[in-house]
Structure 1
Amino acid sequence: MNIMSLLNRLVPGNTGLAADSFISGLGIMFGFIKRVFGMGGEEAAPIKGGSSSPDVQVISAPVVAVRKASPVVLLRDEIIDARTRIAGYRFSARRPDSEQVADASATLEILTANNVAAFAARRLALIPLSQDDWTQHDYTPLIGPMTTFLLALPDGTKVSDDWNAVAAAIHGAGARIALAAGDIVTHRQTILEHADYLLLDFSALSLSSLEVLLRSLRQEKPGLELIADKVRRWPEHRYCVSHGIAYCLGSFTTEPDEEQQAKEIGQSQLVLIEMLNQLRKDAELADIAQIAKRDPGVIVKVMAMANSPMVGLAQPVTSIDQAIMVLGREQLYRWLSIGMFRAGAASPRDEVLLELALARGRFLELLGQEKHSKLECDEFFLLGLLSLLDSLLGLPMSAVVGKLNLLPALSEALLNSSGPLARYLMLSIAVEKGRVQNVARLADELGYSLEAIESASVEAIGWAEEAVNLTK
């Protein structure tokens, strides 16, 4: 697929948002970035006998109504690496009518349907399972290069030969094994022997205890990779990274960073904003090229876009004017829009927020396509994107919305969680955070099946990953 067709998939439309500041410039670009989840019987007719036989009524056995199991919702917890990128997901499945994890059969079915093996070719797929799960089901369809099973250790102090055989079988099938550090006292030798990853409960350990454990593990098994779970704040993530923990799980990803200062507008960002505004006003491409010439960094970026192998030019462009002509309005707008997040003094966490925001926006847009106009779908997309802009900029949402010329319904949803769009935003957040009962309730209120929710979620996550990687 060439770059033009890929970009056309990524961004089908425009929000028509006016702008007069840095944040409004961001608002405009969002409109242009665009691309878990399923009787009765008839009474038996009398059988007539022959001429010499009386009619015989055959009575069928009563039909027992079988209650169909509720659909399974697939949960994905982001795994953030030391570079502050989404490195993968911890997968689990639940039914909306239960607080318990879905049974192994249902979990395996939905993971297979979502082609987790293909996902694990690109990113870490962490899948919890027990010894019995492995022996009673075939998990090999889930195995890709980065598939890792979070294998439950026995409750007692003794590890059976059967458990060891399962661990050996998992490794033999080409998957990796993660074990929980909560069992480090009783099962230290087993962990050191079998684990490729160790899952640490960050909230359950004092910092001094954690540091002692980390030092001993590095000496005993230097190649063991560590994952910190239940990380709630960005400073905790930075602490983990500074102590050699490779990955973090937790609610911190969309939380404000209390150590972050509100961002200032850099020269490159100012130039990009003006280019975006002029593109929206249908200014001549030659005039837009003149704006780009004000900043060498923008010139380099735009020319690199045009000379990308994915564009497929026979001869490289040698000037900013040529580059803008080759890219054209739509492609240029889309490249610059995503590039806005990377201009200036960007924070490492911006990439996580960008991908999550893109996924929210695309998820809402996909849901909207079933029942709403294209213009309304554009607003749904913008709603998802803007919902994380306060975290991105380190500003209160009221300050963000105050700079944007938004429709009242968008402002109400972002500021007060009220109005006709609020439930859509709540649904996207519930899906992202794995709040299964909220997902089921909101989907029902808005008239969507859980199958439709899952389908939109899968496509949105894949699209957001593709969009972010496009301009790296």
Structure 2
Amino acid sequence: MQNSYYLGRQPILNRQQELVAYELLFRSSSQRNEAIVPDDFLATLDVIQHAFSTVGTSSVLGDKLGFINVSADLLMSDVLELLPPQQVVLEILETVDITPAIIERCLALKKKGFKLALDDIIHLDDTQKALLPHLNFAKLEVIDMDSSQMSALIRDLRHFPLQILAEKVDNPEQHQLCMKLGFDLFQGYYFAKPTILSGSKPQPSQMALLRLLGLINGNADNHAIELSFKHAPDLTINLLKLVNSVGSGTPKKIDSLAAAITVLGRRQLGRWIHLLAYVQQSGKNISSNPLVQTAAIRGKFMELLALKKRPRDQSFADQAFMVGMFSLIDALFNAPLQELIEPLNLNDDVRDALIGKTNALGELLNQALQTEDSNLQMNEQLPCDFDALLSAMSWANELA
């Protein structure tokens, strides 16, 4: 499986040469600034995944618009409705046959807030003219057109309330001509070649689990959590396996996600998700991965210490468990701790303890770390509760 992603991004400028948008482009390598696209549908799905999930809208687009090529199949699919409509321009490829069904779909997408563009216009036929009243942008591929062709097209397009974009402007002479003819927007090598954004793909389960942890910590309702699980069937299967293997206090096997959520309750469900994050990311079970095992023991140990310190404060104990579990998340996911905990809706006390600030939870974490020190028994001044540690180890072994 390929572990890297590549995403092309080319600037689109206005007449003042100010950046107003990017076209997002499929790329299969960082070495060659071009794309061999065997399937337009799959190529755009690749762009969507990397721009809006792997990297993220704010990093790729900032506050600018993003032009995305769409084939007929993709235009008619529900995938588009997962995108942020206020920032997306759907660029209808020149290969799309403009049928009444396509026009009806474009109207529906515009009502949802999407902007529309028609790509690579070199002439206008009757079907294209039927779509023009609904477009926000018309893109003319100027590299192989003379001034008379461009003038004629611009004259026809000016009857409609849209912006006209000169595409493939590759030299200053073309830019000056397009300015003179009245184009609104410009794109091409004269301004910038596409920049290739690349990096390592996080595994799908990693991102799904982080979203789930954010929902749990943000007190989202059960329905939202269930929907999130449904987008990650492998996680659903693993959760049900864990719940059924450890035992839920009921003789009946749990065979649905809704039942698991109901039977476990939110607090216990949160714990299974914490553990599942480690198990899923490592690809190993608790007993065969020392990092996973340490996280499980540390979380439970800190919970037991918290209950001894504040016997009637279950909330404090739950927070202690969370700090213990998350204290190794940077090692597991191989990413900065601050970056990983950012979307998790952690309260201030938990976050502060994780980033090393001194508070009650931080003190418990330090105690847990000292207990794990192999030289602990040589230092009689360090606090320790071996009964709690043995209980935590037993609990982790049961999970394995």
Provide TM-score, normalisation by structure 1: 0.36
Structure ranking higher in strand proportion: 2
Structure with more relative contact order (C-alpha pairs < 8 Å, separation 6 or more): 1
